[in-house]
Each structure stands twice: as structure tokens, then as C-alpha cells.
Amino acid sequence: MRTRREGLRAALRDDRGSLSMAVVIWAPVVVLLMAFLVDVGLLISDRTDASDLADQAARKVAQNVDQAWLKTHNTIGLKGERPGIKVDPDPGTGDCVPIARQYLVDNGIQDATVTSCTIDGNPDEQNLYVNPRITVTLRMLYKPMFVGFALKGDSTVTGTGSATPVIPR
């Protein structure tokens, strides 16, 4: 009986170290997977931040209301429509990109670049009762924290936001 036990113990002792090998093999795989998940999560977070910044820059442009337009075009329409709010672009360029860029500078945001800003539907004499829609697109640089080699280094994150000016009643 004793020899049988000794044989069983010897067989069990032969398996020692196999768990260590499994840990050595699988630990780096799990660590790389977790690092990849963290980087992808941070990338998604940066995309959300870019869209949020674009929304805020569009709101800043929408606050640049043409006061003279409001004073001279304040007639209510036949169906009770209020006249549209005209947004002023930058007087130097005729574009709203400088206003959106200035918003980023004023708030200390250095890693974002405004790529486009459009004002669609600004009211005029023929279309008096429309409100414009301001759309801002910006670009940010995302630097991966852990697995930059797998994500091919830095990548660009784009965010788009829009706003429509309204006057509270």
C-alpha cells in the first residue's frame, strides 16, 4: 500500500510548475488586453471631449448676434412668427472660424484646432423668419497611453457640434 501512495505522490510532484508556466504565458496577454482597452476607452473619451468643445464653440459663435439686424427687423409675421436672429461672422474674414478659435484660446484649450465653421440659413430680406444653424468642426490629437504601437502612434480625433441662436420669450 505504501508503494502505491509513493507512486501517486511522485506523479503529483511531476506536475509542479505547470501553473507557473500558464501564468508566465497568459499574464502578458491579459496585461496587453487591459492596456488596449484603457487606450480605446481614452480614445472614446477624447472623441466625446472634441464634440463637446465643438458644441461650445458653436454656441459662442451663435452669441455673436447682429444687433442692428434685430433693431431693424423686428416685425412679427402673419402667422405670429418671430424674425430670425442674424449671426455676425468675423468682420475681417467674413468667416466664423476666428470666433470659434478665440473661444478655444479664451478657455486655454491648446490641443484642439478648428477646421471649419459654417453659418447656414442666416436670415435676409427674402427669408426673414429663419434662424441660422452654426456648425463647428474641430480636430484634436490623441496620444495613446499604453499601446501606441498597436494603434499606429498618435491619431486624430474629430468632433462636430452645432448651435442655433434663440431669444428667450
pLDDT digits (tens, 9 = 90+) for 77-135: 788 788 888 898 887 787 899 999 999 999 999 989 999 999 998 888 888 888 899 99
The pLDDT, as a whole number, for residue 145 is: 85
Does the pTM exceed 0.85? no
Question: What is the pLDDT, as a whole number, of residue 2?
Answer: 63
Average pLDDT, the chain: 86
Phi-psi bin for 152: left (phi > 0), alpha (psi -120 to 50), beta?
left
Q: Where are the domains of the chain?
A: 2-163
